[in-house]
């Protein structure tokens, strides 16, 4: 437990370094953190696939990793689509020229890695570069982390009825209820930090700190988004558990003592970030 807690403190410290310091100097510096997560997550998925005799094509994943950020920088979200197209074309060409030794399952597993975690990770780029970038990052982190924390404690204290025992024996209905409470607490914290008190208004590159002028609009929007994101977080956690069960591994990796690998930390975040990215994209389009 001590090792797990120390690792958690170190991860939070690194995240705050990038988000609250380096990002204030230059927005793109925060992208380094998200890019590293994407690369390590893909590596872990390739390694896990080998245990199930899925030989992922490395070249298409490298093509996406190399192309996605320059294309995103110049073409915004459309650049992510262009990079995905290049990666899929490369994957099909790889299967064509290695048809004697590679299978369709290898191709499909490669495409899975391309989406999970790589394309989903690029949602953080979209959030970071939006006009409400800092607010969006905090919303993803607060809602996801607090929903996970409340789910853990609620499950330990009140968990009896299993949520999906065949997928994750430790997940309980009480834990799911706790997750929704934690998600709402996280949304409330972001609402107070940004819309109410404007804590970060003097930070560099903070962007929009208040989504709505009227609290009777912001409160239901924040809470509705929190409910949606918490649902996504629960599904993301369960989906990761299912993948680990299907591939026969306890953790995706061992890079974080007591926490497993990058994918073990990203499981919920990968499902929450696209929702927040979509919300901010729609919000900016309407606000503009």
Q: Quick one: pLDDT at residue 4?
A: 66
pTM of the model: 0.96
Residues 56, 184: Cα–Cα separation, whole Å: 39
Q: Quick one: pLDDT at residue 121?
A: 98
Residues 27, 131: Cα–Cα separation, whole Å: 11
Q: Quick one: pLDDT at residue 256?
A: 81
Q: Which stretches in the chain have pLDDT values below 50? A: none
The neighbouring-strand residues paired with 164 are 168
Q: Quick one: pLDDT at residue 288?
A: 57
Q: Are 67 and 89 in contact (CB under 8 A)?
A: no
Q: Quick one: pLDDT at residue 9?
A: 81
Q: Quick one: pLDDT at residue 8?
A: 75
Q: Are 139 and 276 in contact (CB under 8 A)?
A: yes
Instruction: With CA atoms as reference, report the closest residue to 72 among 117, 12, 122, 19.
Output: 122
Q: Let me know how long the chain is.
A: 288
Instruction: With CA atoms as reference, report the closest residue to 263 among 113, 122, 57, 75.
Output: 113
Residues 198, 282: Cα–Cα separation, whole Å: 23
Q: Quick one: pLDDT at residue 254?
A: 85
Q: Quick one: pLDDT at residue 136?
A: 98
Residues 146, 182: Cα–Cα separation, whole Å: 5
Which parts of 76-214 fold into alpha helices (H)? 77-97, 104-113, 120-121, 123-128, 133-158, 173-190
Residues 138, 145: Cα–Cα separation, whole Å: 10
Kindly state the tokens that stand for 213: 């002028």
DSSP 58-85: HHHHHHHHHHHHHHHHHHTHHHHHHHHH
Distance of CA 194 to the CA centre of its chain: 22
Boundaries of every domain in the chain: 2-287
Q: Quick one: pLDDT at residue 5?
A: 65
Q: Quick one: pLDDT at residue 202?
A: 93
Q: Quick one: pLDDT at residue 287?
A: 72
Q: Are 34 and 128 in contact (CB under 8 A)?
A: yes
| Residue 61: CB atoms within 10 Å | 23
């Amino acid at each position: 437990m001590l090792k797990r807690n120390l690792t958690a403190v170190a991860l939070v410290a690194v995240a705050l370094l990038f988000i609250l310091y380096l990002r204030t100097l230059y927005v793109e510096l925060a992208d380094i953190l998200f890019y590293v997560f994407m690369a390590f997550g893909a590596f872990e998925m390739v390694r896990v696939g080998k245990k199930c005799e899925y030989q992922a094509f490395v070249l298409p994943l490298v093509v996406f990793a190399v192309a996605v950020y320059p294309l995103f920088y110049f073409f915004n979200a459309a650049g992510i689509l262009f990079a995905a197209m290049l990666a899929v074309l490369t994957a099909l060409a790889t299967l064509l020229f290695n048809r004697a030794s590679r299978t369709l399952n290898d191709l499909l597993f490669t495409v899975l890695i391309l989406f999970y975690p790589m394309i989903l990770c690029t949602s953080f780029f979209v959030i970071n570069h939006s006009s409400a970038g800092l607010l969006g990052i905090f919303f993803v982190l607060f809602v996801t982390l607090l929903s996970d924390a409340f789910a853990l404690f609620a499950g330990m204290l009140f968990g009896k009825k299993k949520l999906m025992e065949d997928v994750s024996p430790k997940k309980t209905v009480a834990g799911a209820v706790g997750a929704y409470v934690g998600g709402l607490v996280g949304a409330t914290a972001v609402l107070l930090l940004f819309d109410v008190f404007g804590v970060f208004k003097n930070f560099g590159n903070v962007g929009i700190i208040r989504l709505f002028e009227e609290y009777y609009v912001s409160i239901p929007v924040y809470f509705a988004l929190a409910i949606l994101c918490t649902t996504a977080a629960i599904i993301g956690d369960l989906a990761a558990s299912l993948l680990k069960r299907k591939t026969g591994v306890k953790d995706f990796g061992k890079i974080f003592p007591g926490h497993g690998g990058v994918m073990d930390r990203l499981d919920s975040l990968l499902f929450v970030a696209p929702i927040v990215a979509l919300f901010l994209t729609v919000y900016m389009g309407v606000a503009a």
